[in-house]
Structure 1
C-alpha cells in the first residue's frame, strides 16, 4: 500500500531556503568582488536578448500551436493529418538540430523564395545575410515549441465536458461562438499551468541560440570566459542569471496554480 501523498502546500520550502542561501552567497560575491561585478555588467547585456527571443518565439509558438490544436480536432481529414504530421515530425527533432537546420537550410530557402517573388515585382533581390541570425533563431524556437504547445492546447480543449458543447449547440451557437464563449474559457484554466512550464523551458533552451553567435547570456559568457580565462567566475554568473529568471518564474507559476485550485474549490 502506497503512503499518502504529502500536501505540498503544507511543506515548508526548505529547498527554497537552501537555494536562497546559495544565491545570497553568489550575490555577495558579485557585490563585493570587482571582477564578479565586471562580469555581471557584461553578461547583463544579454538578458534583454534572452528575454526578447523567449517572449517573441513563445508568443508566435502559442499562436501556431493553437491553430494546430484546432486543426487536429477539426472534421477535415487533411487538416487532422497535416497537423499530426507537423507535430510528430517537429517533436522528433532535437532543438539544437532544428536550430541549425532552420538557420542554414530553411532560412536560405526562404530568401530564395522571397527573391523569386521580388523578381516578379521588379524589386532588388535580398541576400541571405540580410536574414539576421537572431530572427533565424526565433523562427527555429517558434517551430520547435509550437509542436509541444499544440499538444498542450489539444489536451486542454479535449478536457472540456462534452455536455457543455452540446448545451451550446442546443442554444444555437455557431462553431466559432462555441469555441470562443464556451470551450476556450474553460480550457484555458487547464492550459495555463503547462504553458507556464513551457515558457520556463524556453528561457533555458534560448541559450542554444549562442551556437549561431547571437549575443545572449550564454554567448556573452563564452566570449568573456575565452578572453579572461576565468571560467569558474564567469559561468557562476551565467548560472546565477538563468536561475534567477527560472526560479522566480517557477515560484510565480506555483502561486498562480494554487490560486486557480482555490478558485475551483
Structure 2
C-alpha cells in the first residue's frame, strides 16, 4: 500500500502524516475548526477534509459539534456498509499443489447442505460456495485466498486464524482428496468489522436506497455566521463517489475532488509549501 500512497500523495504529504492520533471530536461552531484527539490534544484549522470510512461515521466514533446537517446524517444512517473478508491459506513448498495450477480462480459449490449442522465454513453460505484465488501463480509459495461475505465473513471474525484454516481445509478436502493430508502452514484472516477504524469493508446502496445519499455524503458543509458562511467540513472516501463507490480508485479520486473543493474556498492554502 505504501507505494500507492507515495504515488498519490508524495513524500512531503506523507512526512506530515500524524500516526496514532485517534480523532474523537470535531467542533466547527467557531471561526476555526477544532479537532480533538484521544491522546494528543487539539488541532486547529481553517477547514478539515474528513476521510474516515462510512462504517466509522455510522458507529458515531467521531462526535461533531454542532451536529451534522440533517441531510448528511440521514444519508450516513441510510447507506449500507457491507463486509467482505479474505482468508489466505499458505502452504509449504509443494512439488505439486493439490488444486489445478493453471486456474486463477476456483469456485467450489456444495449442494444439499444442512445449514443447521455446519461441518465446514462453506455450510454457512447462502449459495453454498466459496471462491478461491490461486495466489501461487504470482507468489513464491503455494497459497489460496478466499473472498468471504455475508454470514461467513462475520463467522470467520469470531474464530482464530488456526480454526478458520482448519475449517477451510476441510472444505477443500471435499473437492480435493489430497487436501486431507496437506494442512495449511499459515492462515491469515482479515477482520474488517472488528477494526475500529473501518467497521466494515465498503459502502453499498441498500434496497430502497438512492444514489442521492452518496451525493449527500460528498457535500461540503459546516457553513455558518462565525466562519463567513464558508463550508469548513469536506468529505472524501469511497462512499462519496456515485459511480465509483466501493472501489480503491474511487477513494483516491474522491480525495482529489474534495481537495479541489477545499482549495476553491481557501485559495491561500494552495500557496503554502
Query: More helix per residue: 1 or 2?
Result: 1
Q: Provide the TM-score with structure 1 as the length reference.
A: 0.27
Flag the structure with more relative contact order, 1 or 2, with Cα contacts below 8 A and sequence separation at least 6.
Answer: 1
Query: More strand per residue: 1 or 2?
Result: 2
Q: Provide the TM-score with structure 2 as the length reference.
A: 0.26
